[in-house]
Amino acid sequence: MESTLRRTWAEIDLDALEHNYHALRKQMGPKSRFLGVVKADAYGHGAIEASRTLAELGAEYLAISNIDEARELRHHGITLPILQLGLTPADQTAEVIANNVTQAVWNEKVAEAFSAEAVRAGGRMKAHIKLDTGMSRLGFQCDEDHFAASVDAICRACALPGLDVEGVFTHFAVSDEDAEEHRAYTMLQHDRFTAMIAALAERGVHFQICHCANSGATVSYPQFAHDMFRPGIIMYGIGDQADVLGLKPLMTLKTTVGTIKEYAPGTTISYGRTFRADRPSRVGVLPIGYADGFHRALSNKWRVWTPGGCAPIVGRICMDMCMVNLTDLPEVQEGDEVEVYGPHNSVTEAAHLAGTISYELTCAVSKRVPRIYYRHGQEIGRELLLRD
Ligand SMILES: *Cc1c(COP(=O)(O)O)cnc(C)c1O
């Protein structure tokens, strides 16, 4: 499988994770625990290595979004507490307990089901109560119409046998948006969150860990630090707000110039003939395509970074290859490395051009792209996600 390494690969800079970790901790203050969100294979960066680094740096918690992701981390020796943010079928409760996972509990019915399964398994399941303060996804509803009923339901849920309720949390819908309307909505969500915690305290229900801040809130509302904060995208140094805190991207997606050809004016490039050379042109073929996660919507829009300057993508991105215009970059030769996304060529900007968000582009970097990890400036491991 060594052969694939010269094709297209993703370098993951764990020193950048260290830099970002300290910047985020500083932003949120010494009292708030750091929960690193490593779901979706750490947004495509590699959950095992990201988690090991976070553990070494002193993070207190990790989060994933399905039980198999938690099992993978445990299997590779990660011992930090892990919060399962997502849906888990109640018949997996024994698995949750066996892997020492903390499960989000999003309504009374599922609390009862988890409780019954935990009792049956003879164990106890750690839980955080999930509040829906306005995201309208998972959680006990906290708007005016549902508030009182949710207080009662949460009190009953917390008293169920087999559950150890450690925390309570909510998730923001627009904490990364600056418009006044969005700021007001975020404040409303936060008010509902604190009101619910206060109402439960009055009923004698207390939580060790209250948390709400995702990346957007970490940047824009550090006053929402509470007992823990949950950065995802900005921890990886990407997204619209990463620059605000001077964060560094972990991922550099690289490929090589496979072959170069010269074309006469009028020649069309790739499927659909969407690019036509208007002058004698020198065009390189890169071994990266949409099957590697290089979004086809970037056809004729994005560019790759070469040490001599940027080379625009010309024509449609194919499954396994794409073409770049090297006419103005005569120094670029076959075999040269180029950066598809990374510190010189922002994935956030690529995402805007593709009509999506940076999350989607890094998550999409596919399993045939080997990840190569760097720590303290040295390569510490390679991971090829294809079966051997
Ligand atoms: C994914 C997720 C996060 C992290 O979101 P970012 O925008 O990447 O910071 C935090 N909390 C919950 C509940 C999530 O699902």
**pLDDT tens for each residue of 302-314:** 999 999 999 999 9
- In this structure, which amino acid lies at residue 181? E
Instruction: Give the pLDDT confidence score for residue 221 in this predicted structure.
Output: 98
Mutation test residue for ligand 1: of 34, 88, 171, the one with most atoms within 8 Å of CB: 171
State the Cα–Cα distance between residues 153 and 107, nearest whole angstrom. 8
Instruction: Give dist(CA 191, CA 322) in Å, integer.
Output: 49
User: What are the extents of the domains in the chain?
Assistant: 31-236, 251-383
Residue 142 has which token pair? 């906290």
Q: Is 270 helix (H, G, I), strand (E, B) or coil?
A: coil
Among 75, 14, 8, CA closest to 42: 14
Interval between CA 64 and ligand 1 midpoint (Å): 10
Q: Is 290 among the residues known to form the active site?
A: no
Domain 31-236 sits in CATH 3.30.450.40: no
Q: Is the dihedral of CA 159, 161, 163, 166 positive or negative?
A: positive
Ligand 1 centroid distance, CA of 77 (Å): 24
Sign of the four-CA dihedral 85, 87, 293, 74: positive
3-state secondary structure of 106: coil
Residue 39 is among the residues annotated as catalytic for this protein: yes
Q: Which pLDDT value is given to residue 153?
A: 98
Interval 341-369 mean pLDDT:
96
Query: What is the CA 264 to chain-centroid distance, rounded?
Result: 44
Please enumerate in sequence order all residues whose Cβ is within 8 A of that of 130, keeping only pairs 6 or more positions apart, or say none.
104, 105, 106, 138, 139, 140, 168, 169, 170, 171
CA distance 303 to 341: 9
Q: What's the alpha-carbon Rg for the chain, to the nearest Å? A: 24
The reply to whether 251-383 shares the fold of 31-236 is no
Polymer length in residues for the chain: 388
In CATH terms, the fold of domain 251-383 is Lyase, Ornithine Decarboxylase; Chain A, domain 1 (2.40.37)
- Residue nearest atom 6 in ligand 1 by C-alpha distance: 232
Residue 210 has pLDDT above 70, yes or no: yes
* 153 DSSP 8-state letter: H
If you average pLDDT over every residue of the chain, what do you get?
Answer: 96
Number of H helices, E strands in the chain: 11, 21
| For range 243-259, the mean pLDDT | 97
What's the pLDDT at 151?
98
Question: Which listed residue (39, 126, 130, 254) is catalytic?
Answer: 39
Q: Examine the pLDDT at 286 and tell me if it is beyond 70.
A: yes
Q: 191-208, pLDDT tens digit by residue?
A: 999 999 999 999 999 999
SS3 of 174-239: CCCCCCHHHHHHHHHHHHHHHHHHHHHHHCCCCCCEEEEECHHHHHHCHHHCCCEECCCHHHHCCC
Q: State yes or no: pLDDT of 388 exceeds 80.
A: no
Q: How far apart are the first and last CA of the chain?
A: 7
Percent over 70 (pLDDT), the chain? 97
pTM above 0.95, yes or no: yes
Contact 270, 312 (CB under 8 A): no
Which residues lie below 8 Å from residue 290, measured CB to CB, with a gap of 6+?
296, 317, 318, 319
Mean of pLDDT values over 158-167: 98
Choice among 31, 61, 271, 290 that is catalytic: 271
Q: Is the pLDDT of residue 3 over 60?
A: no
pLDDT of residue 383: 84
Position 1 confidence tier, pLDDT thresholds 50, 70, 90: very low
Mean pLDDT, residues 97-125: 98
Structure-token pair, residue 101: 């996972």
Please choose from 84, 136, 218, 230 the residue to mutate so as to test ligand 1's pocket, defined by most ligand atoms within 8 A of CB: 230
Residues at CB less than 6 angstroms from ligand 1: 37, 39, 85, 171, 214-215, 230-233
pLDDT at residue 387 in the model? 64
> For residue 164, how many other CB atoms are within 10 A of its CB?
11
Q: For a substitution probing ligand 1, which of 37, 82, 250 has the most ligand atoms within 8 Å of its CB? A: 37
Question: Is the pLDDT at 354 greater than 70, yes or no?
Answer: yes
Q: Specify the DSSP class assigned to residue 81.
A: -
